[in-house]
Structure 1
């Protein structure tokens, strides 16, 4: 199929797919902070999407305001991934991404995630099947290596094999994954960051779009990496300190910020929250994502505490948020 293209700089700043964190509530909140950042969903497995109770809508529904947004898939069966990529396209996603980076035992046992780096031809077959099924871009997110398969030669062979399918965008976490002995959390912290390895891939394969992920915390760091990378991806920093997103539109896309008022960002969510509450869901499902917005400011601790203690209650409402915001000076 002919691949639909995105603007050249669409992925200049991305937010990472994060299990249990980057859900639709989170992405809608992030979108109040930045209209241009490219957002990625949590990983959704092919099994859940094809066989899960409630159908695909339960797992991948989103709001139009979230665009541009990519669906990340977990799986290793080319036929299943092709089917799920088609579902993603039918739902209107701007991109579908294959997870080849998650190091958890649970996904390894199902041949999902980082363990696939040991099977580059299988990953290529998966990517090709997805490409043949859709017109939206198909991309891959991976580590720089796994276990003892961590030489530059291994990485180059993996990228080169997958790129032979026509895949053009590689989101590379600058750490290797240790699959036997480290938890997912430890795999985000213990293996050293080796940005220079990712930079070498970009130098050796300049025709590819290379997005750097892993350990980036500030815009100063990001702009340094953008001297050679095509884009950067922030995960936990964007989640724990979401105000970092408020500068994205100006710094990376040359657009005016949507607002400089953090309270306005939260209040922009109120229509979504009212709809959410009307369906019987808890306020805390949404507010858990906004707790870090005022980090470092006077009143932020009281803001977080109020929401943490009150938002899970059955009668929690918009007023609960307003009461929390009252702790924050204008």
Structure 2
């Protein structure tokens, strides 16, 4: 498999811990054929120490391409070995997490967004990862950490990593991270978005590719970013909480493809086959009905019958043993007119002006002092 076989990552779904698992990605791919999908972050140590159980962590169906594996870690030896082990699973890109502010990651594990403070190590890590795979590599990061939040410091990070490694693609979450005193959820809300930093990176590093992330909640807003010159857009929670309203428009509105015309009823019929094939596969009744059905709970957001569907689902989780019986018990809550409506119906909502005047806000141009930047 190779990334060149697919349309470019104009739109991708962000890696989200405990959310973008195999079940969600299966649903996402049924809705959108062209969105790029990311795994949850996997610690390199998990991959290395679970060599006898890799299918559980790295396995996925071929239909999920194009798909990116995101790994995290702070030990070069484990990053090298994890990348090597992942080769058998034919991911289309390997992404290195330098953006997660979770205390479990940035604190005890000393990786995630803390690594932005050590760009020399990130350059070494990316070189090691690239040396052990034949697919492209990328970095996902923030625009800064704590008081290290100037545009020049961000540029120093990008310059060092790209100069010391083959990394040519960066996904930029356009908020800085605060490591002390606030939760990961607050880190997605409290630090202000600075889209001007992202667009200044496009200006100052014309040989690199940048994907914008953070605060973009619809295909309307994704297209607004692309119109202003973004190379690609990554959407997180909106793609999870509103999959039909968000992913349902990606292929037509972002990629210009004709509508597949697929309905939610047809999607659920295909998902039923998937679900019944994986129930209990890991032993000890895992995954169970609740785990497999979890991504579906947002499929009828804002539609008639949505509240009743969720209540019926809560009840069905207690006793249903197959996806078939789960759907028989719950889908009676949803009108046929909703189940049989074709994908991408209606006009997507969103802020057309999200990036208005962003080019008027750009910081002064970055000029790398090469030796100082690389070896400081």
Tell me, yes or no, if the aligned pair for 2:217 and 2:238 is still in contact at 8 Å. Answer: yes
2:232 maps to what in 1?
231
Deviation at 1:107, TM superposition (A): 1.1
Q: Are the equivalent residues in 2 in contact too, given 1:142–1:173 (CA < 8 A)?
A: yes
Q: CA, structure 1 residues 135+4, in 2 after alignment: closer, same or farther (shift >3 Å)?
A: farther
1:273 equivalent in alignment to 2:302 = no
In the alignment, structure 1 residue 124 sits paired with structure 2 residue 131: no
Gaps in structure 1 of 5+ consecutive residues: none
Shift of 1:319: 2.4
Quote the Cα distance in structure 2 between the aligned partners of 1:312 and 1:60.
29
Q: 1:10 aligns with which of 8, 23, 45?
A: 8
Q: Secondary structure in 1 aligned to 2:295?
A: coil
Could you tell me whether the CA contact under 8 Å between 2:3 and 2:92 is conserved in 1?
no
Q: 1:262 aligns with which of 261, 264, 273?
A: 264
Q: Does structure 2 conserve the Cα–Cα contact (< 8 Å) formed by 1:102 and 1:114?
A: yes
Match of 1:309 among 303, 312, 315: 315
Equivalences for 1:1-330 in 2 at 5 Å? 6=4, 9-52=7-50, 54-108=52-106, 109-164=108-163, 165-227=165-227, 228-243=229-244, 244-277=246-279, 279=281, 280-281=285-286, 282-313=288-319, 315=321, 317-330=323-336
SS of the residue 2:4 aligns to: coil
Three-state SS of the structure 2 residue aligned to 1:139 is: strand
Specify the structure having the higher radius of gyration (Cα). 2
Report how many aligned residue pairs link the two structures: 328
TM-score (norm 2): 0.83
Counterpart CA distance in 2 for 1:44 and 1:5 is 21
Structure 2 Cα separation of the partners of residues 314 and 242 of structure 1: 25
Where 2:279 maps in the other structure, the secondary structure is helix
CA distance change for structure 1 residues 42 and 5 in 2, over 3 Å: closer, same or farther? closer
Would the aligned equivalents of 1:88 and 1:96 in 2 still touch at CA under 8 Å? Answer: no
User: Which structure 2 residue ranges, 5 or more long, are not aligned?
Assistant: 337-376
The verdict on how the C-alpha distance between 1:296 and 1:50 changes in structure 2, with shifts beyond 3 A counting, is same
Structure 1 distance, partners of 2:273, 2:83, is 31
User: Comparing 149-158 with 318-327, which one deviates more in the overlay?
Assistant: 318-327
Tell me by how many angstroms 1:277 deviates.
2.9
- Structure 1 residue 297, shift from structure 2 partner: 1.0
Deviations 1:248-296 (A, max 9, x none): 1112222223334122112211111111236444211111111111111
Please give the alpha-carbon distance, in whole angstroms, between the structure 1 residues aligned to 2:44 and 2:237.
Answer: 25
Cα distance change, pair 172–33 in 1 and its aligned pair in 2 (3 A):
same
Q: CA RMSD in A?
A: 1.8
Kindly state the Cα deviation for residue 53 of structure 1 after the two structures are TM-superposed.
7.3
